[in-house]
Amino acid sequence: MDLRVIIENMPSPQDRYDLHTHSRHSDGTTTPAEIAKLAAGLGLAGFALTDHDTANGWDEAREAAAEHGLDFLPGFEMTTMHRGRNTHLLAYGADPQDDEMAALLQLLGGARQRRAERMVEKLAQDFDITWENVAAVGIRAIGRPHIADALVRKGIVADRDTAFATLLSSKSPYYAYAESVKTVDAIRIVCAAGGVPVLAHPAAKRNRSVITPAELEQLIAAGLLGVKMNHPENSPELLTELQRTVADFPLLITGSSDFHGAGKINRVGEETTAAETVLRIRELARIKH
């Protein structure tokens, strides 16, 4: 065994990007600047900020990236529906000022908030919890993480993971669905706004089954350009099946952490994307930095 060859073939952090992170602008617990600091500490080439339904953190992330000599790719994540599947869609370099794009982000942000309100109303019938306990000032995209943290603060559950596994799980009577949009429509809007649409984590454990080749084909016909394969929450079985499905299509392949700060174990840089893939994304994106 030639150790020199193995070391040379190891991906170096200077060529790697974390393309899926959340900050306090949605449901992460850190600022974009803290994400930049973590990425720089690891020696990564750069990162993307992909808060839910918003581009509000981009300026802060851009500035912090420049301070640390990092490359920044702007993005966001949207929760959509494809044939009964809850489908998270990442979009890179889409213009958030584009009329349809802006309207979609607004719609999804509103739906997220109303859904959280409905869940808190249900919980309030049985537990000592109010909307005021959940919604801290300045937080956008109030979702289950914020409800979970309020349940923890009130001593109703032990920690955030327990909240997600019990009271906030999709099988819980306190769960509520958000109004959503079709993934194909979101993909078309992202493409028209100059963005690069990438499926966020189709092999995550929480999925009951993997997207079928026919379903993937429909998304590609709408303009889907990539699939995130490497994700800390993947189920090995689902990933193997997804790898077989994706192999038949010319797609950009990414990997990223889905960092949310404290309260979720995913760490910055835990999964990463190759610099050459970021180059391809950037060639296609309207907002490149």
The contact set with Fe ion (CB under 5 A) reads: 77, 88, 200, 258
Looking at the DSSP bridge assignments, the partners of residue 16 are 274
The CB-of-157 to ligand AMP minimum distance in angstroms stands at: 11
Neighbour count for residue 174 (Cβ, 10 Å): 19
Question: Which residue number, 156 or 199, has a Cβ lying nearer to Fe ion?
Answer: 199
Interacting residues with Zn ion between 20 and 49 (CB under 5 A): 22, 27
Task: Say whether residue 98 binds ligand AMP (CB under 6 A).
Answer: no
Task: Say whether residue 161 binds ligand AMP (CB under 6 A).
Answer: yes
The Cα 47–Cα 1 span in angstroms is: 34
Radius of gyration of the chain (CA): 19
Task: Say whether residue 260 binds ligand AMP (CB under 6 A).
Answer: yes
Question: Which residue number, 95 or 258, has a Cβ lying nearer to Fe ion?
Answer: 258
Task: Say whether residue 59 binds ligand AMP (CB under 6 A).
Answer: no
With vertex at residue 209, the alpha carbon angle to CA 205 and CA 215, rounded to the nearest 5 degrees, is: 125
Looking at the DSSP bridge assignments, the partners of residue 226 are 198, 252
Out of 17, 58, 72, 164, which residue is the one contacting ligand AMP (CB under 6 A)?
164
Report residue 230 as tokens. Answer: 């490497």
Find which of Zn ion, ligand AMP, Fe ion, none residue 161 binds, CB within 5 to 8 Å per kind: ligand AMP
- Give me the residue label for tokens 């993971």: 161
Find which of Zn ion, ligand AMP, Fe ion, none residue 200 binds, CB within 5 to 8 Å per kind: Fe ion
* Exposed/middle/buried for residue 127 (C-beta within 10 Å: 0-12, 13-18, 19+): middle
- Find, among 258, 224, 277, 272, the residue nearest to 50 by Cα: 258
Task: Say whether residue 258 binds ligand AMP (CB under 6 A).
Answer: yes
Question: Which residue number, 143 or 202, has a Cβ lying nearer to ligand AMP?
Answer: 143
Instruction: Kindly list the residues in this chain that would bind ligand AMP in the complex (CB under 6 A).
Output: 27, 143-145, 160-161, 164, 258, 260, 263-264
